[in-house]
A and B are shown apart, each in its own frame.
Chain A
Amino acid sequence: MYQTRYHRPGSVAEAAELLSKAEDGRYVAGGHTLIPTMKHRLAGPSDLVDLSRLSELKGISEKGGTVTIGAATTHYEVASSDAVRKAIPALAALAGMIGDPAVRNRGTIGGSLANNDPGADYPAAVLGLGATIHTDKRKIEADDFFTGLFTTALEEGEIIVKVSFPVPKKAAYEKFHSAASRYALTGVFVASAKDGAVRVAVTGAGANGVFRAADIEKALSGKASSDAIDAVSIDPSGLLSDIHGSAEYRANLVKVMAKRAVDAIG
């Protein structure tokens, strides 16, 4: 690992100030992506600004049909939250599928979203539920947030403060995971909103990261049954192809996982 300087700010404002003064600084929360990357010398930030202990970024609340989760809330805290389990059980279940228990003890929702790994789980829930990302500067809708592999709409130094999820009528997440890494080889989040709109978000499969499967959404808007997905054709040309699976294999997985999610919703 290259040399770095660690900072533990007392507030979000101080964190942003520290990062703005750093030569090549990075925020760290759970650190379970960033520190392994630094160990491989694939990242060498001059400064690390620790967001994980900031009380402004913590906590879960449910009010008026919206679940709000602080950015530094861990996967374990989301998975075990009574409020999340009751309002959006699919979101709690998704958080409980990330990595392994020790990863879930440290990893945070804000860190996962800011990193936007193409195989990460949270982007599927955020896009599938049409969540809003609140930063220290503005609000960003999920449809505008994910802009490509490991890339988001966040500006340099911008900090995710919390994420608010509209409570759907029904939702489910089905994931085909890599047995080694637990990342999604393909994961599909299906949500039926209170107004009847259906959103389908796919992670793990897209060559540009998480995306909405418009054709599946269209098929389900006519008939909310897994049979409706049979007729959909997923174009493999925009999908990832790697040692874990070809684009064609992932295209099939998108349909299979979407059908399982629709069946799970019932």
Chain B
Amino acid sequence: MTTVGMTVNGDPVSVETEDRTLLVEVLRDQLALTGTHVACDTSQCGACLVLIDGVATKSCTTLAVQADGSEIQTIEGLAKDGDLHPMQAAFNENHGLQCGFCTPGMIMAGVDMVRRLGKDLDDETIRSELEGNICRCTGYVNIVKAIKAGAARM
């Protein structure tokens, strides 16, 4: 077993894990942060996106040991003092979800888009940037609306 030290949503954590354990398994099974979802488990759907040192990363395609020493932010860490993050609020207001399973990944993808491309995102850019996030309810219209509105407010 290896000791992995990370900062998760602002709190320092230390976990004992095998080197082959995925980051998403540590987050969900050891830290009970079940907002990060596993859908495809084949690096394609984006439901497992978390921010590692601020960069959106597929936590199903990252070993926990690779994240040793990093700052992790999950969907649970976005809201501050009971107030939703602007991207979360925009998903709520624009009904940017149907079943909600892909939503944590969509929101993390939206936050990462703003980091890379700024707050002023047009529909075409958002649609192209969402190629790694799959919604099986086919609810993309409101997801695009939500990301556009959330980005403008960040």
Interface, chain A (partner B; CB < 8 A): 1-6, 8, 28, 31-32, 35-36, 38-39, 48, 50, 52, 76, 80, 99-103, 105-106, 180-182
**B62–A31 CB distance below 8 A:** yes
Evaluate contact between A31 and B66: CB separation under 8 angstroms.
yes
| Most A Cβ at <10 Å: residue of B18, B42, B132 | B132
**How many A-B contacts at CB < 8 Å in the complex?**
76
Residue contact B56 to A182, C-beta cutoff 8 Å: no
Most chain A beta-carbon contacts within 10 A, residue among B44, B62, B66:
B66
4 smallest CB-CB distances across A and B, nearest first, come from A100-B132, A6-B19, A6-B65, A1-B20
Contact with A31, one of B41, B42, B61, B129 (Cβ below 8 angstroms): B61
The distance in angstroms between the C-alpha atoms of A38 and B41, with both chains bound, is 12
Residue of chain B at shortest CB distance from A96? B128
Whether B66 lies near A102 (C-beta < 8 A) is no
Which of A1, A5, A102 is B109 in contact with, Cβ under 8 Å? A102
B88 at the binding interface (Cβ < 8 Å): no
Give A68 Cβ to nearest chain B Cβ, in Å: 23
Task: Write out the residue numbers on chain A whose beta carbons fall within 8 Å of the beta carbon of B138.
Answer: none
Report the minimum CB–CB distance from B133 to chain A (whole Å).
Answer: 8
Instruction: Please determine whether B68 and A102 come into contact, CB atoms closer than 8 angstroms.
Output: no
What are 16 sample pairs from A and B whose C-beta atoms fall under 8 A apart? A3-B18, A8-B68, A28-B66, A31-B62, A35-B22, A35-B61, A36-B61, A50-B66, A80-B116, A100-B132, A101-B56, A101-B129, A102-B49, A102-B58, A102-B112, A105-B56
